[in-house]
Amino acid sequence: MSRPQLPALPTIELPAFLEPLKLKKFPLRTFPATYEPPRPTKPTLQVFGPGWEGKQASFDVDCLSMQVYLKFCGVDFDVVHSNEPYSSPKVKLPYLVVPPDHCLYGEQIHHWLQKNEKNKRLEKEAEDIESKAFVTMIEKKLGAALLFTLWLEPLNASELTSTKYFGHVSSPIDKLLAYRKKEEVVQSLLIDRDVLIREEIYQSAADALSALSVKLGANDYFFGSDYPTYLDAVAFAYFHVILAIPQITDSNADKEAKRHATELRNLVLNHSNLVKYTKKMYSTWLK
Amino acid sequence: MALQLYVWGPALDVPSIDPSCVAVEAYLRATNANFTVVYANDPQLSPTGQLPLLKDGPVWVAGASRILSHLSKKGHDGNASLSAEQVADSLAYISLIEEKLYDCMLFTWYADQTNFVKTIRPTYAKLLPFPTRYFVPIRLRNNAKARLEKYEVEIKDDDDSPLATSETDDLKKLMETGWHHMYTLARDTYKVLDAKLGEKDYFFGDEPSTLDCLAFGYLSLHMYPMLPHHRLRIILTTEYPRLSLFCDRFKKAYFAEPLPQSESASEIPTLWKSFTNSPVEFFSSIKSNIIGQSGEEKKEEKKSDAQLDFERKRIWSIAGAVTLFLGYIIMNGIVSIEVGDDSGDYEEDFGDDE
């Protein structure tokens, strides 16, 4: 295809007195950049943190499970307490920055681990498959109860959770964000059920906990494995987050509300093997 | 006392169009319970707005998981023969089924425009009575949309967009909705269930348990409906034949005979009743108890004289305030109109005088 020939653009000669319009002297001077954010040299996991009492372990269950899972897989990585979900491509922490130019979240992290042959699977194929069912159960049943405890038990929500998640935001934006988060939690819980009833949510969490307690037995890791897997990461994260929530010591608080605030924690404490498991995992992997 | 189960009616070659209704029905059939079904076809009948609904004597129980736990307390325990570890496994697999299989089903029904327009919407329209037929399918689709958001699946609202006519267009549209994730998810979930089932007749041996009923409930809706795009059915029959054989086996063993239907009871605890009983509770996000479990009478608290006195005073003061307020508005309204007219007249008069 031949293009029609366009006439050449005319060149205009500027008169000498208009020469300054060309701004030839700019830039007058070039300074070095004042601040260039340091580029990560190794994989960096962006999480909510630090945990309760300034511990390394994140207080957010998704972040914590990824944090320990990467440790299980022997990945050399840094943890950054960014607390800013909006910095992530999916508006959700955690996400993993892999130098030079990758930013991974959710499933992508698992794909990345798989590609580098660092992911941990159970030795027996059948057990590895079965562990997926348990991960779903934890995320669904225990996850609902944890969200409920954190955001819908008034004492926890006002005293602990909202300051932990949004405390670094200036007032009154933090209140607004906490309120919106609470509404989001209600909506997300209502997707799975027709009505929200406190007793039911805790009951199904209790069922899930006893199932996990039976499954774990006296083993060091789930399915009697010699090394921890993703199921252990998720289970540990949930147990740890539930157990690490500080007790509310305010004596003015309503007794009933106080009991509700610690209900989920007490459910975990009922299973001594789960508590032992959590403590051991914590001292092995996070200290 | 015979049990009465209110469910979504049969459609698409499945005992009920809702997987949890099929599951509960399967559970009752498998435990040899004496029960009748009512094809209610209207989720508004249930106090929580969701079917199935079970009437056990004076007690109403709504929602599949509540019904199952109610029945297991009443001596119809599907897990009676299982060991503690098997019960633990069963719970894990049930959560997997309820979550993943349901999401895959919703995806093929609602995200696939062709399936929705050609099969799903007409089927619901046939099942539902006149007024609800126009808004219930939309509500169901919005629900599906909320559930599928976490997979980044987008469900479009425009019903009027032309359906794809050719095969390639179809494929292109499906690609846009992210079908590859969802079919990978379906395959992964089938693989988990298939590994658990193995060569056995049922998941835990020769006898069905709760897990089998739920698996049948959800799988039957993947298996039997003849949708325009029945990819799930193809995956099940070709790649996981053991699961499809399981469905056929269960159907043959327990769904061979039709069930006696019965008339619905007169005093159904509908959604509307749960609203009129306690409007405040209806709108609060956390409910204190299962609304509509009539039969367990609540004791009304007696009010003390001081309270009664206080309430009387409150009513009087509120009434007084309202009257005053209305009076003020009316007075002001009349006065302002008169003032306006007066001043106009006055100015006119004044002008005339000059």
Per-residue pLDDT reduced to its tens digit, A116-167: 888 888 888 888 888 888 999 999 999 999 999 998 888 888 888 888 888 8
**How do residues B175-231 score in pLDDT, each as one tens digit?**
555 556 788 888 888 888 888 888 888 888 888 888 888 888 898 888 888 888 788
CA distances from B181 to A130, B154, B225 (A): 21, 12, 22
Crossing angle (nearest 10°) for helices B231-239 and B210-223: 120
Q: How far apart are CA B112 and CA B163, in angstroms?
A: 10
Higher pLDDT, B57 or A104: A104
Average pLDDT over residues B43-66: 78
Position of tokens 């958001």? B149
Task: Say how many C-beta atoms besides its own lie within 10 A of residue A255's C-beta.
Answer: 8
- Peptide bond just before A100 cis, omega within 30 deg: yes
How many Cβ pairs within 8 Å bridge chains A and B? 86
pLDDT at A20: 76
What are the φ and ψ backbone dihedral angles of B5, each rounded to 5 degrees?
-115, 125
ipTM: 0.81
Q: What domains does chain A contain, in order, with CATH numbers?
A: 44-115 (3.40.30), 125-285 (1.20.1050.10)
Helix (H) or strand (E) holding B39: strand B35-39
Task: Say how many C-beta atoms besides its own lie within 10 A of residue A103's C-beta.
Answer: 15
Q: How far apart are CA A182 and CA A156, in angstroms?
A: 12
The answer to whether A136 contacts chain B (CB < 8 Å) is yes
Spell out where B40-121 has E strands. 53-56, 59-62
**How do residues B280-299 score in pLDDT, each as one tens digit?**
666 666 665 544 443 333 33
The answer to whether B93 contacts chain A (CB < 8 Å) is yes
Residue of B nearest to A213 (CA): B88
Taking all residues of chain B, what is their mean pLDDT, rounded to a whole number? Answer: 75
Cβ–Cβ < 8 Å for B107, B148: yes
Q: Quick one: tokens of B51? A: 């079917």
Q: How far apart are CA A155 and CA A177, in angstroms?
A: 17
Higher pLDDT, A37 or B87: B87
Cβ–Cβ < 8 Å for A116, A77: no
pLDDT at B293: 41
Nearest one of B298, B269, B293, B296 to B67, comparing CA atoms: B293
3-state secondary structure of A103: strand
Q: Which of residues 258-317 of B touch A (CB under 8 A)?
A: 285-291
The answer to whether A130 contacts chain B (CB < 8 Å) is yes
Dihedral sign (CA B292, B145, B231, B180): negative
Dihedral sign (CA B127, B132, B134, B138): negative
Q: How far apart are CA A281 and CA A233, in angstroms?
A: 9
Strand duo A102-105 + B3-7: pairing: unpaired
